[in-house]
């Protein structure tokens, strides 16, 4: 190995470490059923009569680690969470680890994104959507124009 190759390798390794150390923490919090109850609300009755516990609207991504569309949706939701920081809480729940919550909300396909407004019933969409379409749903559900 030449000195030049060694120096380039060390430089690349250092750059990689620095970029990882400075990477922003995830904006979408991975939570359990119990945390869902504490942060979002009681799901024992599903969407009917659901009462929000948080002080902001929430978006919950129901996903599975083996799901390709779920993995493609994750960075989109991270971007949206950064854009709506302080206005909307973003969470994700692994369906394989939290089956009863999935059953309560009638999850039949993933990814499933549930929008929890402060008032009114939650609404859900299934499948992978582009960022712009998700923004339109968020704005419509949570920040309607007057």
By residue range, what is the domain housing residue 138? Answer: 26-142
Indicate the number of domains in the chain.
Answer: 1
Q: Is residue 98 part of a domain?
A: yes
Q: Is residue 14 part of a domain?
A: no
Structure confidence at residue 15 (pLDDT): 43
Cis peptide leading into 111, omega within 30 of 0? Answer: yes
User: How many degrees, rounded to 5, is the angle at CA 69 between CA 44 and CA 127?
Assistant: 55
Q: Is residue 16 part of a domain?
A: no
Q: Tens digits of per-residue pLDDT, 98-136?
A: 998 888 888 999 999 999 998 888 899 999 999 999 999
Indicate which residues carry an active-site annotation: 67, 70
Q: What is the mean pLDDT of the chain?
A: 83
Looking up residue 49, the CATH number of its domain turns out to be 3.40.30.10
Q: How far apart are CA 56 and CA 40, in angstroms?
A: 9
Q: Is residue 36 part of a domain?
A: yes
Q: Is residue 68 part of a domain?
A: yes
Note the pTM of the prediction, 2 decimals.
0.80
Q: Is residue 18 part of a domain?
A: no
Q: Is residue 11 part of a domain?
A: no
The residue-averaged pLDDT of 5-23 equals 44
The residue-averaged pLDDT of 58-73 equals 96
The residue-averaged pLDDT of 51-76 equals 94
Q: Is residue 19 part of a domain?
A: no
């Amino acid at each position: 190995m030449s000195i030049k190759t060694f120096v380039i390798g060390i430089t690349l390794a250092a750059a990689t470490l620095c970029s990882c150390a400075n990477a922003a923490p995830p904006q979408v919090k991975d939570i359990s059923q119990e945390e869902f109850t504490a942060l979002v609300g009681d799901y024992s009755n599903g969407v009917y009569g659901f009462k929000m516990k948080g002080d902001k609207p929430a978006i919950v991504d129901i996903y599975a680690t083996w799901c390709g569309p779920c993995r493609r949706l994750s960075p989109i939701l991270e971007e949206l969470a950064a854009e709506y920081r302080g206005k909307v809480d973003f969470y994700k729940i692994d369906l394989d680890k939290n089956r009863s919550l999935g059953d309560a909300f009638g999850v039949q396909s993933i990814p499933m994104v549930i929008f929890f407004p402060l008032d009114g019933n939650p609404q859900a969409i299934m499948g992978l959507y582009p960022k712009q379409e998700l923004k339109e749903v968020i704005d419509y559900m949570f920040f309607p124009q007057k």
